[in-house]
Amino acid sequence: MARHRNIRNQNYDDYDEVDEYGKSYDDTDTFGVSPSTAAQFMYRRDDSSKSLNRFPSLPEGDGPAEEEADEGGHQSYLRRGASHLGSEQVDEGKLQSCIDYIENCTGDVFTRMQLREAVLAANYNAELALRFLLNDESTDKPAMTRSKPPVHQLSKNLENLTVSHDNTGKAFPRIESTPNLKVFDISTTPIPTSPKSNRKNSSTPNSGDHRAQTSTPSNGSPKSHRKNAKGLPRVESQTELPPMSTKTSEMPHRSAAKTTVLYEQRQSSSKPLLNLIVIGHVDAGKSTLIGHLLFLLGKVDAKQMQKFEHEAKKMGKSSFMYAWVLDETGEERSRGVTIDIAQTSFETANRCVNLMDAPGHRDFIPNMITGTATSDVALLVVDATRGEFETGFQSGGQTREHTLLARSLGVTQIVVVVNKMDTVDWSEERYSSIVSTLSPFLKATGYKDGDVSFVPCSGFSGDNLVARPQTEAASWWKGPTLLERIDNFRPPTRQIDKPFRQVISDVFKSVSGGFAVAGKIEAGHVEVGDKVLLMPSATTGTVKSITLDAESHNICFAGDNAILGLTGIDQTDVHIGDIICDPNSPVAVTTRLRGRIALFTPKVPLLAGQECVFHNQSFTESCVVKKLLTQINRNTGEVQKHNPRVLVKNSSGEIELLLQRPVCAELYSASKELGKFLLRDSGTTIAAGVITEIFG
């Protein structure tokens, strides 16, 4: 007891002191970090929200404002960059003098930020930076429209500079310097970060040419530079400049010109890419057709095929052997139905085809939508068997719905594959009757005549897939094979110069550890090492790896179905339907939006309060129709009625939607791909629409 009492009588102040110690530890924790370090890790709310808000409020989403948003990004980036580099005041001084120099030449054409960026990229070489800026100007369209008037004035200022613009796509033209001018010695300026220039530098001294002076490593100030130049004899520096961009992580903003060059490089080295989706009614033979095609193209080896055949036989489904090439999950095999999109790729004579096999069952239309949203062209497979074609085509059949969906999701070219011709003995009559039934329907759906073609074939026997049919009955067919038809698709134009956007359609653990996301790049491009922003969770990460078609790449462009390995983002933050984008021009995020819709033929009309499922790319979420704003005449676009009570089938109108969960959205005017959506309810598609307004 005594001991207990002892404790009671203890001086409690001691404890208090301990507490205070605790506090002071706490304090050091908070204040031990220097303000600059803290700032680096702090999320600047006003900064990013500004750019967030500004972006969606744009009417067109392009031009100056986008650049302004970019600038915001630049600023913070450069501020960081400057503080990082300019820890030595010398650099800061150099930067300033370079900027002054350029401003003397150009006036106010360029923003301060552009100048800084250019100077930093040119490693404090004023002339180099200037030339980069000017050249950039000539190739960069949006920038040009913005600063059009000053350009004339500028070119006057600089007319004694003979800058020969090379429009063949090279970012950096050859430059001839005349003697009466300040001569730039480009080759002597080291640009250490660029590997190419390194090579050049190392070679310059070795060559021991006519240059009197060797490279001066940091002739940052223009004055000293000019002095150097004066000392030189007439120099014709016919050097091709190294690319401006240094390492990507340090320079998130490459000029559009450079991107185009890189893109063209790749385009010239490989065949044009085509994203192809195979659609059609359930059991039309889509998977079998594609499986067989892949087999014939040698994408599946004979041994594996034999294995499939054996296993399929064992399950009593020998006719499914080709479908098993694509239907890999146990569920799909045992039920004999494709459930999810299967992706694969092959090459034709002139095209590199990225092929997706969509499920035909009506329950899996959401899967089909995510696949179709990422494709450019489609193969519509119909079953030639008597009765089967008719069930697929009648109202409620998937031939009809898939075609409509594909059209509203931006697929413009379509090849109708009349499959299972062997079941009707290659009857020409049957073929032409199907063609004549489908043609008017396709036309009514919105496909142009030139964009629709037909081909008869048999997926199971393999006739007319790659080679002409062997059977006598099919001798009437003189047209091309399926493969030739695929080869004839025109590749679409891609939005290479827009800011980077990738829609996530899959998240999984990557083989190399960490996790990877897969999806189609809708706009722009991305390189390994780039910083990217994940929306709507607004977390930033870095691209660790890029995989295209099981091969690792350093860069990928709009149109590619790429797998990105990411670091810095938690896997649980990533959901299907999220968008990875350029941190400098983030995509808008909202739960409320306005859209112009065209109703299909739903069972019940559209009223306010209706709950349906909202599909945008691979994003799906339930939404409520908040308001019906207007009813629009479908043909003229005229407003027929304000605040209509109801929108009946086949009518059009403007509505307001409220989503349960934030969606990444872009206006249709800014992005055709991301600005589209579909509304579905109870297994039927109610309407297709485009986003006309996003509420912040």
Partner 1 sequence: MKLVNKYIDRDGKGRVKIICEEAEDMWQAYNLIAVGDQIHASTIRKVNQESATGSSNSMRVRTSLTLAVENVEFDTQAGMLRIKGRNMEENDYVKLGAYHTIDLELTRPFTIHKDLWDSVALDRLIFATDVTKHADLAAVVMQEGLANICLITPSMTIVRAKIDITVPRKRKGIVQQHEKGLHKFFDAIIQGILRHIDFSVVKCVILASPGFVKDQLHEYMLQWASKMDERKITDNKSKFVLSHCSSGFKHSVKELLADPNLATRLSETKAAGEVKALDAFYQMMHTDPTRAYYGINHVEKANNSQALELLLVSDELFRSSNVNLRKRYVKLVESAKENGCEVKIFSSMHVSGESLSQLSGIAAVLRFPMPEIEDEEEELNGHPED
Alpha-carbon distance 557 to 666, whole Å? Answer: 19
State in angstroms the smallest separation of the CB of 525 from partner 1.
23
CB closer to partner 1 out of 61 and 602: 602
Alpha-carbon distance 684 to 363, whole Å? Answer: 10
State in angstroms the smallest separation of the CB of 625 from partner 1.
8
3-state SS, one letter per residue, for 93-153: HHHHHHHHHHHHHHCCCCCHHHHHHHHHHCCCCHHHHHHHHHHHHHHCHHHHHHCHHHHHH
State in angstroms the smallest separation of the CB of 520 from partner 1.
14
State in angstroms the smallest separation of the CB of 604 from partner 1.
4
CB closer to partner 1 out of 279 and 574: 574
- Which has the closest alpha carbon to 512: 450, 454, 567, 434? 567
State in angstroms the smallest separation of the CB of 591 from partner 1.
15
CB closer to partner 1 out of 276 and 341: 341
**C-alpha distances in angstroms, 318 versus 333, 382, 430, 463?**
11, 21, 27, 18
State in angstroms the smallest separation of the CB of 311 from partner 1.
14
State in angstroms the smallest separation of the CB of 636 from partner 1.
21
| DSSP-based three-state secondary structure for 29 | helix
State in angstroms the smallest separation of the CB of 594 from partner 1.
16
CB closer to partner 1 out of 42 and 511: 511
State in angstroms the smallest separation of the CB of 631 from partner 1.
12
* Structural contact between residues 557 and 521, judged by C-beta atoms closer than 8 angstroms: yes
Sign of the dihedral through C-alpha 95, 97, 99, 101: negative
CB closer to partner 1 out of 409 and 628: 628
| DSSP-based three-state secondary structure for 632 | strand
Alpha-carbon distance 475 to 310, whole Å? Answer: 33
State in angstroms the smallest separation of the CB of 575 from partner 1.
6
Alpha-carbon distance 304 to 295, whole Å? Answer: 10
CB closer to partner 1 out of 250 and 573: 573
CB closer to partner 1 out of 317 and 575: 575
Tokens 């897969």 belong to residue: 518
DSSP-assigned beta bridge partners for residue 686 = none
Count CA within 13 A, CB hemisphere, residue 285. 26
197-206 CB contacts, 8 Å cutoff, 24+ apart: 197/242, 200/239, 200/242
CB closer to partner 1 out of 37 and 334: 334
The dihedral formed by the CA atoms of 81, 82, 88 and 93, expressed in degrees to the nearest 10: 150
* Structural contact between residues 233 and 177, judged by C-beta atoms closer than 8 angstroms: no
Tokens 């750019």 belong to residue: 51
CB closer to partner 1 out of 406 and 625: 625
CB closer to partner 1 out of 659 and 667: 659
Enumerate binding residues for partner 1 (CB under 8 A).
328-332, 335, 339-344, 361, 363-364, 366, 505-509, 518, 574-576, 603-605, 607-613, 620-622, 624-626, 642-643, 645-646, 648-649, 660, 680-683
